[in-house]
Homo-oligomer: A and B are copies of this chain.
């Protein structure tokens, strides 16, 4: 069962989801439509809807609630991407070219709000307070995660727990709940849905750590941004955290983070120091450990065909380099 085959098997469901996403974002408003269309077209791997579809196979995957749940969660993911585009005046002062026109900031915010509302609306077609609690938990955790990220910017004193809690809220919870909601929507028992929650949670932690590694070592063209962008923006991720633990690197990193006048050359130097310090390998190691935990959960699940697919997804996420 390759990853391509998994996608192929879910092709019909995935295109039903795509159609519903389009419908959700189409009708009401030209500006809204325009603002969300690029995002829809960009598509992405739709990894979260795929997880919902797969975990539903432990129950009755044909229940209409399954597609609803997947659409709702993907809308929340998309809304969070739109809100990521809202910037601070501080960003503007730093001269970033993020703002395309003078209305972009507020329009992005309200477009995100609209998408959140649509997510709730779509879910309200089925009668489950548990599902609504899950959705509200996702939005709440996403927003706390982002606020924590803002709070922790440029703070090189933060500890590992800080980082892990942040990526949990920013990324892992949404994957965890995509898995859990798939199972619940398909009528699985709550205990089974909780196991799938943990599978998704560990998967999500590994996924985000890999993302943070790729920000350092990934191909700049594929990333669409210069290497080390996170650090340049003050976002201290796992490789930087590990590098800060090394006495001989610590001072250089702190200096460039604390200075108001760090040049591109200064940043490049520090980013290269981190890349060659072994910190990336340590981070990759932790990512692998989370992935292993995700796979361990699978052993506790009914051994069905879908369990193999979830295994494959984990391997895929472990091996990705973009």
Query: Digit string of A233-264 for contact with B (CB within 8 Å is 1, else 0)?
Result: 00000000000000000000000000000000
Task: Give complex CA distance A136, B124 in Å.
Answer: 9
Task: Give complex CA distance A126, B105 in Å.
Answer: 35
Residue from the list B28, B105, B114, B124 in contact with A88, Cβ < 8 A: B105
A230 on the interface (CB 8 Å rule)? no
Q: How far is the CB of A116 from chain B (nearest CB, A)?
A: 6
Task: Give complex CA distance A107, B127 in Å.
Answer: 33
Residue from the list B90, B106, B125 in contact with A103, Cβ < 8 A: B90
Q: Do A109 and B109 contact each other (CB < 8 Å), given the known contacts A136-B117, A136-B124, A144-B114?
A: yes
B residues in contact with A99, CB < 8 Å: 89
| Contact across chains for B143 and A114 when beta carbons are under 8 A apart | yes
Task: Give complex CA distance A125, B129 in Å.
Answer: 7
Query: Digit string of A85-111 for contact with B (CB within 8 Å is 1, else 0)?
Result: 011111010000001001111110111
A184 on the interface (CB 8 Å rule)? no
Interface-centre pick from A88, A92, A138 (highest chain B CB count, 10 A): A88
Residue from the list B86, B110, B133, B144 in contact with A143, Cβ < 8 A: B110
Q: Do A127 and B124 contact each other (CB < 8 Å), given the known contacts A102-B89, A114-B140?
A: no
Q: How far is the CB of A95 from chain B (nearest CB, A)?
A: 11
Q: How far is the CB of A139 from chain B (nearest CB, A)?
A: 4
Task: Give complex CA distance A137, B121 in Å.
Answer: 7
Task: Give complex CA distance A118, B135 in Å.
Answer: 10
| Contact across chains for B116 and A116 when beta carbons are under 8 A apart | yes
Interface-centre pick from A137, A140, A146 (highest chain B CB count, 10 A): A140
Majority secondary structure of chain A interface residues (helix, strand, loop or mixed): helix
Question: Total interface residues on A, using CB and 8 Å?
Answer: 51
| Contact across chains for A120 and B146 when beta carbons are under 8 A apart | no
| Contact across chains for B86 and A109 when beta carbons are under 8 A apart | yes
Task: Give complex CA distance A146, B139 in Å.
Answer: 21
A37 on the interface (CB 8 Å rule)? no
A312 on the interface (CB 8 Å rule)? no
Q: Do A105 and B117 contact each other (CB < 8 Å), given the known contacts A29-B144, A143-B110?
A: no
Task: Give complex CA distance A116, B120 in Å.
Answer: 11
Q: Give the residue name and chain of the B residue nearest to A126 (CB).
A: B129
A164 on the interface (CB 8 Å rule)? no
Q: Do A147 and B107 contact each other (CB < 8 Å), given the known contacts A121-B137, A123-B132, A133-B121?
A: yes
